[in-house]
C-alpha cells in the first residue's frame, strides 16, 4: 500500500516539473529561475521513484525509514526558501541565515528519525527551534528588509511564503504523531499525509511561482504598436 502513495508522489512531482520547463522552452530566459523551480519538483520526483523501488530504506527500531526522503528535503527546501529570498531582493546575509536555519531543521529532523531512545525528542526540539527561527526570517526579517523589484514580486512572495509556512508547520506535527515520535499514526497513514503535503507544498509552490512570473513577463512586455 505504501508503494501506491510513493507512485502518486512520483506522478504529482513529475507533473509539477512540467510548468517551469515548458515556460523556459517558450521564453529561453531566466534559466536559473526556472532551473531552480524545476529542481524543487524534479528532485522530489526522483526521490519518490527511488522510494517506490525501495532504494534507501533502512530499518530503525523495527520501523522503516526512507533516507531518500530526507535527502530530498535537504536539497529542495533550500531551493524554495532561496527563491523566496530572491523575490524579496534579500541580502547575502539573509540568504546565509535562511540556509543555516533550514539545514538545522532538516538535519535535526533526520537525526531524530534515525535515532532511537528519548534523545530523539531532544533532536526534534532542536529542529523545531530552528524552524521557529526560519519562520521568523520569513515573516519578520525578510519583509522588513525587502527590496521588491515591483508589486508583482511582492504579491508572489506573500502567496508563496504563506503557502510554505502553513504547510511546513504541519510536518513537525506529523512527525510527532508518527512512528518515530509518539507512534499514534500508522506508517501507511503517515506516508499518505506526507505525500499529500509534499505534492501541495512543492507542486503548488512551483505552479504559482511560474504563473506569477508569466503574468509579470506579460505586464512588462512593451505594448505592440498598431500597424500604419
Kindly report the number of other CB atoms within 10 A of residue 152's CB atom. Answer: 17
CA angle at 74 for the pair 120 and 122, rounded to the nearest 5°: 15
pLDDT of the residue at 225 = 41
Please state the separation of Cα 83 from the chain's center in Å.
10
pLDDT tens, position by position, 30-45: 899 999 999 999 999 9
Q: All 3 cell numbers of residue 192?
A: 499518505
pTM: 0.92
pLDDT for res 169:
97
Residue 108 has pLDDT above 90, yes or no: yes
pLDDT digits (tens, 9 = 90+) for 54-98: 998 999 988 999 999 999 999 999 999 999 999 999 999 999 999
Name which of 82, 149, 67, 159 is nearest 114 in CA terms. Answer: 67
**pLDDT at residue 224 is higher than 70:** no
Phi, psi of 58 (to 5 degrees): -125, 155
Would you state the pLDDT for residue 168?
97
- Say what the pLDDT of residue 80 is: 97
DSSP at 149: S
On the question of pLDDT at 181 being above 60, the answer is: yes
Q: What is the pLDDT of residue 221?
A: 65
Query: pLDDT by residue (tens digit) across 109-149?
Result: 999 999 989 999 999 999 999 999 999 999 999 999 999 98
- Cα distance between residue 120 and residue 182, in whole Å: 11
Mean pLDDT confidence for 189-204: 95
Residue with the larger pLDDT of the pair 24 and 223: 24
Kindly state the DSSP code that residue 179 receives in the 8-state scheme.
Answer: T
Lookup: cell for 157: 512572495
At residue 217 the predicted structure's pLDDT band, cuts being 50, 70 and 90, is confident
Residue 227 pLDDT > 80, yes or no?
Answer: no
pLDDT at residue number 219: 78
Amino acid at each position: 500500500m505504501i508503494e501506491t502513495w510513493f507512485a502518486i508522489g512520483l506522478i504529482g512531482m513529475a507533473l509539477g516539473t512540467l510548468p517551469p520547463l515548458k515556460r523556459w522552452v517558450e521564453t529561453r530566459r531566466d534559466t536559473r529561475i526556472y532551473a531552480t523551480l524545476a529542481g524543487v519538483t524534479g528532485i522530489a520526483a526522483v526521490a519518490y521513484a527511488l522510494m517506490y523501488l525501495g532504494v534507501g530504506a533502512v530499518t530503525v527500531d523495527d520501523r522503516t525509514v526512507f533516507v531518500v526522503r530526507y535527502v530530498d528535503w535537504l536539497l529542495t527546501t533550500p531551493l524554495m526558501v532561496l527563491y523566496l529570498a530572491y523575490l524579496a531582493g534579500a541580502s547575502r546575509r539573509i540568504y546565509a541565515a535562511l540556509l543555516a536555519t533550514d539545514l538545522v531543521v532538516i538535519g535535526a529532523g533526520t537525526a531524530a528519525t534515525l535515532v532511537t531512545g528519548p534523545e530523539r525528542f531532544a533532536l526534534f526540539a532542536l529542529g523545531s527551534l530552528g524552524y521557529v527561527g526560519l519562520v521568523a526570517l520569513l515573516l519578520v526579517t525578510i519583509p522588513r528588509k525587502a527590496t521588491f523589484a515591483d508589486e508583482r514580486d511582492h504579491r508572489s512572495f506573500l502567496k508563496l511564503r504563506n503557502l510554505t509556512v502553513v504547510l511546513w508547520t504541519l510536518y513537525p506535527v506529523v512527525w510527532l504523531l508518527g512512528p518515530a515520535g509518539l507512534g499514534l499514526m500508522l506508517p501507511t497513514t503517515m506516508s499518505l499525509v506526507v505525500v499529500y503535503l509534499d505534492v501541495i507544498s512543492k507542486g503548488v509552490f512551483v505552479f504559482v511561482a511560474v504563473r506569477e512570473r508569466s503574468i509579470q513577463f506579460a505586464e512588462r512586455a512593451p505594448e505592440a504598436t498598431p500597424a500604419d
